Amino acid sequence: LYAIVLGWPEREFVIESTHALYPGEVRSVELLGAAGELKWEMTAKGLKIERPDQRPCDHAYAFKITRNTSV
């Protein structure tokens, strides 16, 4: 699952369209072009992500959301 953000998001932001996912359904979140996994948590409103300090590019940002296949 990928989420594309067209502007550099706030330090913490929520992808509200993911609110229907189960809490154990998300395994990891990455920002393509940035090193490492991001801090994230499932909330009642959706997937809350803490973005890194450095932008990997200047335009759009693709977040890769990996789901657990065993759920």
- pTM (two decimals): 0.87
Domain annotation for the chain: domains and CATH numbers: 2-67 (2.60.40.1180)
36 SS3 class: coil
Q: What is the dihedral of CA 16, 20, 25, 27, to 10 degrees?
A: -10
38-70 per-position pLDDT tens digit: 999 999 999 999 999 999 999 999 999 999 876
11 SS3 class: coil
Q: CA-based Rg of the chain, rounded to a whole angstrom? A: 12
